[in-house]
Every structure is written in structure tokens, then in C-alpha cells.
Amino acid sequence: MKFRRSERLIDMTNYLLEHPRQLIPLTFFVDRYHSAKSSISEDLTIIKQTFEKRGIGSLHTVHGAAGGVKYYVKVRKDEAKPFIEDLCALIASPERLLPGGYLYMTDILSDPSIVQKVGRLFASAYAEANIDVVMTVATKGIPLAYAVASQLNVPVVIVRRDNKVTEGSTVSINYLSGSAKRIQTMVLSKRSMAEGSKVLIVDDFMKAGGTVNGMISMLDEFKAEVAGIAVLVESENIEERLVDEYLSLVRLSDVDVKEKRINVGEGNFFTMN
């Protein structure tokens, strides 16, 4: 039984969105819909144009015998801009201030639609980079890491602060937290990452960068390398930043606990992209 074009377009859209960064041979769709290759090609042209026009993503066509089509998430700047502005406004609320100048961000990170959008922005920035794994440290970075990883079609590796029996044998490192200058420990299961992996590090918050730096030391232990660093919020006014190149969506420039004032602005997302 043949499929009508309208059905094919709906099902292909869903299929492509569910399989980002995977090369799908044209023959896969030919078999799926019992349709001619020329019809499938026309479908893909319509989808490609609509995805680009509506800011859904981009579709790359690979020609030749091993060819096919690949969907990448690609957020347009005019879509990213208002989202980051909304985030800034949300974060600037004085009720977020906690003792010690920390910010309560749990409500923002508990909203799956915000988390998904942040993931889409990060994945957009690294869509064409060579990335094997997304790494984060428990707990708050985890949802962001999965949101990025599902768009990049790679696994997530979670570094822990403590050792658990369910991790099997582990590698443990000590590192210096940047802001508090305390020695801390990080643990990662030995089975969790292959040697030589290219790793995108993701976290919710970066002050001096001690935690991110700890993850970089952990990568050394696994002979893996940093392919990128992406944080939701970075804090400015840091005497000595331990990490050079990174991507941030939001930048805290001034947190005054006494005056209950939080100054928030865009991160470097638009200058880095």
C-alpha cells in the first residue's frame, strides 16, 4: 500500500526529529513508504526548505551510494535572542538570592521546556563538531547534558562526587574548587568512557571554573579530550578564570546580597557563534 505525500511528510518529520545527526539512507524511506526514490527526494526537499524557513533545523544531503540525509538542530539567532533575554529576566529576580551570594536556580532547571531549549542552543553551537560524549557532574548539570546529548545523538557521562557500588570500579581525582579553594573529589566509572573520546563538557553554573577544570583533569585520566565547554550561567568578576574557551548563555555581572541586586546579561553565545 502506498502512502500519500501528506502522510509521508508528517511521518518523515517525526522520524528525522527523533534521529538527529544520523545518516538515514534514502532507501530506508523508500521501503518505509513503498514510494519511488524520486518522490522521497521531493519530500526531503520540501522538508529541508520548511525546516530552514521555520528555524527547526537543517537537513544535509549526502550523495552517492552510501548517501542519505542527516538532520541537525539549528536554532536561528532571532529565536535564540528572545529566549536568552527571557532567561536573563527570570534569573535577575531578587528572590533568587541565597546566603553567600548563591542563586536559587532549581525552578528554572526543573522546567523541561527550558531545559530542552537550552539543549537545542548548545547542540546548535556544536552540531557540526566532532563529539563522542557529553560529560557533566552530578546533580544540576544532568538534565542539560541529556538535552544536548539527545540532539547530538551521543551518550552522557556523569561524574559523581561520591563513590557508589553500582558504578563498578572507578577512577577518582582530587581537584581544587576555584572559588572556595577547597580540595574536592570527583569519581567516574571506569567503564563509562572509551580512550580518545572527544568530550563536550556541560554544566549549569561556572564561577572560577574549578569544577569544569576538575572534569578536564578527569578527561586526562581517560586519555580523552575536550571538544567544547558549555555552561548555562557564568559568573563575571572572577579574579582568575581557570578555563579559557567556553560558551555561556547568561552572564552574572554583579550580585549584591545586601542591596538584593542581581545584574544579568547575555553570555558569549552570540559572539562565539
Stretch that binds its own copies, among 73-81, 86-94, 149-157, 234-242 (CB under 8 A): 149-157
Q: Is 167 in the site for its own copies (CB under 8 A)?
A: yes
- For residue 224, the minimal CB distance to its own copies (Å) is 15
Closest to its own copies by CB, 154 or 247: 154
Q: Which of 116, 90, 117, 115 is nearest to 104 (CA)?
A: 90
Q: What angle do CA 77, 78, 84 make, to 5 degrees?
A: 75
Q: Is 153 in the site for its own copies (CB under 8 A)?
A: yes
Looking at residues 45 to 84 of the shown chain, list those that interact with its own copies (rule: CB under 8 A).
46-47, 49-51, 53-54, 56
Task: Tell me how many residues contact its own copies (CB under 8 A).
Answer: 56
DSSP, collapsed to helix, strand or coil, labels residue 109 as helix
Closest to its own copies by CB, 106 or 272: 106
Residues 36, 98, 194, 272: which binds its own copies (CB under 8 A)?
98
Residues 80, 118, 122, 189: which binds its own copies (CB under 8 A)?
189
Helices (H), strands (E): how many in the chain? 9, 10
Residues 27, 31, 77, 104: which binds its own copies (CB under 8 A)?
104
Report the alpha-carbon distance of residue 19 to residue 151 in Å, rounded: 8
**Going by C-beta distance under 8 Å and a sequence separation of 6 or more, which residues neighbour residue 202?**
122, 134, 135, 136, 141, 144, 145, 148, 229, 230, 231
Instruction: Return the C-alpha cell found at 107.
Output: 525552578
Closest to its own copies by CB, 11 or 268: 11
Q: Is 180 in the site for its own copies (CB under 8 A)?
A: no
Report the alpha-carbon distance of residue 273 to residue 261 in Å, rounded: 30
Report the alpha-carbon distance of residue 139 to residue 211 in Å, rounded: 12
Q: Is 39 in the site for its own copies (CB under 8 A)?
A: no
Q: Is 231 in the site for its own copies (CB under 8 A)?
A: no
Using the CB atoms, write b or e for 159-192: b if 16+ within 10 Å.
Answer: bbeeeeeebeebeebebebbeeeeeeebbbbeeb
Residues of this chain that interact with its own copies (CB under 8 A) are: 5-7, 9-11, 13-14, 17-18, 46-47, 49-51, 53-54, 56, 98-100, 102-107, 110-113, 115-116, 138-140, 142-143, 146-147, 149-150, 153-158, 160, 165-168, 189, 191-192
